[in-house]
Structure 1
């Protein structure tokens, strides 16, 4: 067994499977064979990923250029014996690291969730006896018995099937339970169509059978997914990439300016100690100490806002990443659709009807071909609805205001359609008591029930596939319930038309029998004969969510392509995509093309890269193909959001720039691998999250545009002073006061700025574009220059007029505060005029300016602050000059914004 070959088990005949696994048909494996195989293959458990130690994970939070800058600032301020400032800056670093540590994704948690999916026990045949064992003790070759309600404990080839249905949605994405058959399949059969296989972690929902274990532990399909999760590399988000790049540039610029300042001072013959301290002052002034903290807080505010919109964020940067998303790859079932089968079309009495309503909610209307709501129920239609609701083993239940099906989703849809016509299931069951039943079997493809009908007759209702039901019919019913010649061609064409719309079609027939027939004995003797009367067709689908249609439309208008990646069949996927309005952004591409998993498998990597942007719907897709699609889209420089709820989605969720898991239907595995969880499983929530993400990035950009002129202006003031050999207008401790207080009281208020109008009409940001545009760089330079002119000019004016250095420096520092306060209002929108921005739409701005004013008054007028920061009281005339200069800066910035708006308008014309 050591050289057990990798077999296409679904393509092997049963006898060949027994031979390959050296298993006896009747007695299974012996105890000695099990021991030997356990030593070879190991336990039936998924290997846990070796976790990163908590200490190492915490230390990695400091691996960031901005954090390096803050650590340098901590050391510098400590060296200057400014212990309080040093402690504050280091406190910011620690808080930032703790938040990052708590928010970081843990891949090992996802794999541990996969381990929990394995069944705790299994019924097997060993040494010729049926025994119950721990599922971890299963080995290849074991004969496993499966019954309804069992979780499949390992991958196995089925050798006995008794009406077996298995819910494989967590693995394949298939929206309904799969009917299993012990039949030989083609070699290239995709995973979702391997009806002769059962896979670890899936659930037997109906019937039972027996299978031979073909793979255990890491070798199962679930185990392969665990391996893909551990190997999938979580990419940096656009925000973290840009912040890292920006931080490195800032680090080099600050260090470069400090070195130049030190060298120039020495060339001017200044004392090296004072020159070194001046260089340190420049570095401290230019470092934006508040940037990491404000970035974290802004993201946290976005997290809170998104939670109010039913989106729980597990990783802070995911908030911003959604805002830069260019493609959303969405699962179909439950995300874009209701995950509730709904009858939409009925053909009965030679007439076609439309049904309104959605899901299992028993509300809606039945309309005829002319679109008129039925006042009276034709007999032919009534019998069709009656058969659907009483030849039925399921029930509709209402829990917490929501309607759910207990049993098969298809049967739930039939019950709901009958209720819309006033035929309550319980009442009809009492009116027509069931006498006998022939349960559904895959080889039979129908279910039949025998009921009491009237004083003279009983009645058989039969529902099943069109092929197996129609061949047993001899006539049909008209609208009045009278006999009608059977038009097989018309019925077949109608069914095919429904199927082309992505609808699942059930054919319904009946036969009235003598009152003495209380069983199906006579019917079964003549089963193949044409003895039934065709009643009608009921066609159903898992309908799209109305809000998903609106959300997809909004996303596409915002330049975000939406792609459906599902395990469902191609026809169904295409029908839903057309109803939702999923379009390809490339108008030259086939808008209705569906690429299947089988076709994907035949494409080379180069061919996939050429096709992946041209197709919007992918059907019957295997787990590794989802991962491959995400990787291909990222290779085309897209920022990819991926939604999913099953185990099969977890690797792709982890690989995507942002993984979005479903909170209701999602497995624990998918939630652990995701960056964000939707509490309502609704695509519309993603659209809201994208909107929120764009707002977060807008606010971060506003903050960066606001804070950098302060740091650059301080640096320029100090550098000019060194170049001309003058006293420093701003001391290092004063620079720290400016940087920390203004960032908290003023800059942080921009995090609360509401969304700007038209935010979802803009195209996504180019992932390769720099964090700051030419417009923003120009504004930062111009405001920095204005700060240099104002602060240095006021400093020199004060000295010329006989003021002390303390007063002159206090004027320079306070001018920075005044200009930053008015510039804050300019930054509420980087393009729209301040005078068109609602003045009280962000009350936090006013609160922040008020708090900053109080703090600055304390800085100026309290003795203790005068001692700590070498400040001095100012006169009223000083305030008048500073305020006048602040208003001048405000209007100059608004003029510059107007010039840029004109340039953009001419470019777009």
Structure 2
């Protein structure tokens, strides 16, 4: 009897060599490209199974899940039971139309989210054909060799083959908050997940050191894939704004039902028929419900988020959209955000000589100059040794592809690799020996060291740290000579004053038998300095000015020297004193908030101090947007009101902690996102201020008629016609309304303020009252002068339509007149006006419409009276706006000069 085949032991119970043999891969060179492609075809992409989504029918039915829609559905049912099938059909038509709009918008939102997920998918470093490549994580297959550095997200389950002080945050899987030190070591026994030190699991983060591992599981087969199967669907996060609107909808629903019940009871008690009062109550309910509000909120937010994407800002968490409009302080990194993050070595100091390096960017084209004349680095031993050290103690690689020269790795290390290539260092028989071990750079050590075959140890790091380690330097001829630490420090300071970043390089000899580098080399030989330049972005200075005009403080936080930070700050408009991390640490907690408020540039700041800065500013009631790209930036990103991660140069840890990701790593995109956030909120408020008077006015007209005991001035079917036409064709343009010209010249919005301020609520009631007086008055005036009931009701409908038209121009700006300018800047306004005139003409004059909606043709005089009400409404609102503007200006002028001005 043949036994069952043996189940292979899990990877952590076998050695890395055994795992590599089983998976048919080379632990040093990885898979070949051909084999990887074949496995990808067989095994499928490295992606978790898509979350189970609602089907189209379910999503359509959920569009009816709203208190306001429930009222409409009940109204349609009651109307049908009373035998008025036309009215019932029209009510259902409006409900279904609203559902179709919401359904289409939800489908569009899902497509947008899928596109954003594709834009932010993880990119990882994979070794194939013996060369490292940056590839999307979903292209990984079992057997791939993946390298990890601090800040990387582990893209699949890995059996580690090497590690240098590698630590991994596995809290997503194990709940352990402290990072776990990894050791590829030997096989383990029956270890629980948290004790598998020779494995790195998908979805976790490398927080320290470096390492490499063989992919043992991808997609649903990973440990996190097992967890993912238990998760059906993530809960959507709603913004404070949408929560306010949801509460508003519930309050409106209760109020409408209460008014309808009171209306029905009063009418019946006064002796009117039950059927007549049911019709009146339905008309009141249908008229007072702002049916278009939920759809317009969704559409406006969707357009705003889409505009943000076009301006290089991806919103990961919806609350960021509203909070952006309230931002008062932006704390930003320097490198890559205010600058280009394209480091280029421009100067080398070695052997007592100062060399100039020409060329820019990552293309290795340029020369080494001494006193303006090109030199051959081979004839300058100290120069050659300094450049070679920068290449050897380096994890970056610069390669040429279809898009030109690109960098894989840290920009600073890339600059060192390019400067060496320009001089020909590291090529030929004098190339860099094989690396045997590494002490990776850390903010605590402030240096990196590499051990190479033959015993050579190369060190690079901050000038202060390397000078502490060295006693001697290499002279111009290549021989050791005494090190003048003071002269080197003064030279580094002079470079820093030119906004140059300076790294020091050294070399030591560990002996030919050395194979590990457990401690820093003893007394290495100082080789020289390399100074590099990262120029400010041209658009950064403009964006900083725009933020300050908008009442938003900008604070630059960098780990660079104070002199470098001051030079960059001066160039982009952040002038003044510079506070260093040491000075910040020495400040008493009670004095820190005021000191931080006054300072615009912070230098030599540690990640922990970034967090302290954010908390100090928040203690003064500021709304903080904080940028970051590193692993250690994550606490500050989470603490800030808006965490902004860099999409290109940012680590996966930073992106996971952030609310928003910049796809171009540009500070100007933060300013653009703030502008868009303000614009989204403005457009929503404009729409609400415009739409509510129609609903309130309709309710008031119907209430007045019912309490007065007369005929209804407007029928439910006619109310729905208004909601289908006027609100649709005139409301949608608000979703695409361009921002007001002064949107970035206003102070930030106070997030504690209600959705509608007192003046705006008063304006809504003013227009509602005009509609009540105009519509109700003209209804009786028309009948008194011989018009039929149908003609009088048609006048009422057109009073609402044309008044909403003129009031739309009032609402294009809530405080300034923008009549013709508004039409020119938003062509959808003109299209809406034309569409409204056409549909109201059809409603009034087409016989079939007269039969369905109970309308009747009108003469020119009736139209003139309706237009007169609309013009009166427009004029009164503009007068109120102008008076309010004058009052605000008077109050502002009364403030003493300098009072209330935000600190720079």
- Length-normalised TM-score, structure 1: 0.67
Aligned partners of 1:506, 1:61: CA distance in 2, in Å? 64
Look up the match of 2:875.
891
Is the CA contact 2:330–2:552 (under 8 Å) kept in the aligned structure 1? yes
Number of equivalent positions: 774
Look up the match of 2:547.
555
Aligned partners of 2:245, 2:647: CA distance in 1, in Å? 31
**Are residues 1:571 and 2:559 paired?**
yes
Q: How does 1:707-746 map to 2 (within 5 A)?
A: 707-746=691-730
Is the CA contact 1:504–1:541 (under 8 Å) kept in the aligned structure 2? no
Is the CA contact 1:288–1:708 (under 8 Å) kept in the aligned structure 2? yes
**Are residues 1:808 and 2:792 paired?**
yes
| Aligned counterpart in structure 2 of residue 247 of structure 1, from 246, 249, 272 | 249
Aligned partners of 2:449, 2:67: CA distance in 1, in Å? 67
Look up the match of 2:94.
88
Look up the match of 2:3.
none
Aligned partners of 2:207, 2:630: CA distance in 1, in Å? 16
Look up the match of 1:19.
none
Which runs of no fewer than 5 residues in structure 2 stay unpaired?
1-12, 19-47, 128-139, 173-178, 184-196, 215-219, 440-446, 894-904
Q: How does 1:818-857 map to 2 (within 5 A)?
A: 818-834=802-818, 837=821, 839-857=823-841
Aligned partners of 2:834, 2:861: CA distance in 1, in Å? 21
Q: CA deviation at 1:312?
A: 4.4
Q: CA deviation at 1:249?
A: 3.4
| Aligned counterpart in structure 1 of residue 283 of structure 2, from 281, 284, 287 | 281
Is the CA contact 1:395–1:407 (under 8 Å) kept in the aligned structure 2? yes
| Aligned counterpart in structure 2 of residue 490 of structure 1, from 487, 491, 505 | 487
| Aligned counterpart in structure 2 of residue 322 of structure 1, from 313, 316, 324 | 324
Aligned partners of 1:304, 1:554: CA distance in 2, in Å? 22
Aligned partners of 2:739, 2:776: CA distance in 1, in Å? 37
| Aligned counterpart in structure 1 of residue 667 of structure 2, from 683, 687, 703 | 683
Compared CA separation, residues 384 and 305, structure 1 to 2 (3 A): farther
1:519-551: CA deviation from partner (whole Å, max 9, x where unpaired)? 997999xx999996x653114587765545543
Is the CA contact 2:367–2:374 (under 8 Å) kept in the aligned structure 1? no
Compared CA separation, residues 382 and 686, structure 1 to 2 (3 A): farther
Compared CA separation, residues 412 and 721, structure 1 to 2 (3 A): same
Which runs of no fewer than 5 residues in structure 1 stay unpaired?
1-22, 29-47, 121-134, 138-144, 173-177, 183-195, 212-216, 369-373, 452-459, 512-518
Aligned partners of 1:203, 1:658: CA distance in 2, in Å? 24
1:583-630: CA deviation from partner (whole Å, max 9, x where unpaired)? xxxx9999555899x999x99xx999999999997966589x98x999
Look up the match of 1:301.
303
Compared CA separation, residues 844 and 620, structure 1 to 2 (3 A): same
Compared CA separation, residues 885 and 285, structure 1 to 2 (3 A): same
Look up the match of 2:504.
506
Compared CA separation, residues 281 and 471, structure 1 to 2 (3 A): closer
Question: 3-state SS of the aligned residue for 2:806?
Answer: helix
Aligned partners of 1:51, 1:632: CA distance in 2, in Å? 41
Compared CA separation, residues 309 and 383, structure 1 to 2 (3 A): farther
Is the CA contact 2:329–2:622 (under 8 Å) kept in the aligned structure 1? yes
Aligned partners of 1:257, 1:531: CA distance in 2, in Å? 87
Question: 3-state SS of the aligned residue for 1:837?
Answer: helix
Look up the match of 2:239.
237
1:639-684: CA deviation from partner (whole Å, max 9, x where unpaired)? 6656666888899989987665654456788778876554324332
Is the CA contact 2:322–2:677 (under 8 Å) kept in the aligned structure 1? yes
Question: 3-state SS of the aligned residue for 1:831?
Answer: coil
Q: How does 1:120-135 map to 2 (within 5 A)?
A: none
Q: CA deviation at 1:375?
A: 3.8
Look up the match of 2:414.
412
**Are residues 1:797 and 2:785 paired?**
no
- CA-based RMSD of the aligned residues comes to 6.4
**Are residues 1:536 and 2:528 paired?**
yes
Q: Higher relative contact order by CA 8 Å / sep ≥ 6: 1 or 2?
A: 1
Compared CA separation, residues 63 and 856, structure 1 to 2 (3 A): closer
Compared CA separation, residues 822 and 555, structure 1 to 2 (3 A): same
Question: 3-state SS of the aligned residue for 1:506?
Answer: strand
Q: How does 1:339-354 map to 2 (within 5 A)?
A: 339-343=341-345, 346-348=348-350, 350=352
**Are residues 1:703 and 2:670 paired?**
no
Is the CA contact 1:234–1:656 (under 8 Å) kept in the aligned structure 2? no
Aligned partners of 1:869, 1:760: CA distance in 2, in Å? 47
Compared CA separation, residues 235 and 644, structure 1 to 2 (3 A): farther
Aligned partners of 2:728, 2:94: CA distance in 1, in Å? 12
Question: 3-state SS of the aligned residue for 1:746?
Answer: helix
Aligned partners of 1:332, 1:49: CA distance in 2, in Å? 39
Question: 3-state SS of the aligned residue for 2:295?
Answer: helix
Is the CA contact 1:181–1:442 (under 8 Å) kept in the aligned structure 2? no
Q: CA deviation at 1:390?
A: 4.6
Is the CA contact 1:469–1:508 (under 8 Å) kept in the aligned structure 2? no
Q: CA deviation at 1:270?
A: 2.5
**Are residues 1:862 and 2:850 paired?**
no
Q: CA deviation at 1:416?
A: 3.7
Question: 3-state SS of the aligned residue for 1:769?
Answer: coil
Larger mean Cα displacement after TM superposition, 435-444 or 406-415: 435-444
Larger mean Cα displacement after TM superposition, 783-792 or 880-889: 880-889
Larger mean Cα displacement after TM superposition, 86-95 or 388-397: 388-397
Aligned partners of 2:638, 2:523: CA distance in 1, in Å? 56
Question: 3-state SS of the aligned residue for 1:766?
Answer: coil
Is the CA contact 1:300–1:316 (under 8 Å) kept in the aligned structure 2? no
Compared CA separation, residues 362 and 59, structure 1 to 2 (3 A): farther
Q: CA deviation at 1:798?
A: 0.9
Q: How does 1:394-543 map to 2 (within 5 A)?
A: 395-401=397-403, 403-406=405-408, 409-417=411-419, 424-426=422-424, 433-434=429-430, 437=433, 439=435, 442=438, 464=460, 486-492=483-489, 494-495=491-492, 503=501, 505-507=503-505, 536-540=528-532
Aligned partners of 1:496, 1:155: CA distance in 2, in Å? 45
Aligned partners of 2:564, 2:80: CA distance in 1, in Å? 64
- Length-normalised TM-score, structure 2: 0.67
Compared CA separation, residues 491 and 66, structure 1 to 2 (3 A): farther
| Aligned counterpart in structure 1 of residue 731 of structure 2, from 731, 741, 747 | 747
Question: 3-state SS of the aligned residue for 2:398?
Answer: strand
Is the CA contact 1:103–1:316 (under 8 Å) kept in the aligned structure 2? no
Q: CA deviation at 1:907?
A: 1.8
Is the CA contact 2:60–2:100 (under 8 Å) kept in the aligned structure 1? no
Compared CA separation, residues 522 and 739, structure 1 to 2 (3 A): closer
1:161-219: CA deviation from partner (whole Å, max 9, x where unpaired)? 7xx486989999xxxxx9x999xxxxxxxxxxxxx9997566799987999xxxxx9xx
Aligned partners of 1:629, 1:819: CA distance in 2, in Å? 52
Aligned partners of 1:793, 1:829: CA distance in 2, in Å? 29
Question: 3-state SS of the aligned residue for 2:504?
Answer: strand
Q: CA deviation at 1:804?
A: 0.3
Look up the match of 1:265.
267
Question: 3-state SS of the aligned residue for 2:738?
Answer: coil
Is the CA contact 1:312–1:677 (under 8 Å) kept in the aligned structure 2? yes
Compared CA separation, residues 590 and 248, structure 1 to 2 (3 A): farther
Aligned partners of 2:417, 2:553: CA distance in 1, in Å? 37
Q: CA deviation at 1:837?
A: 3.4
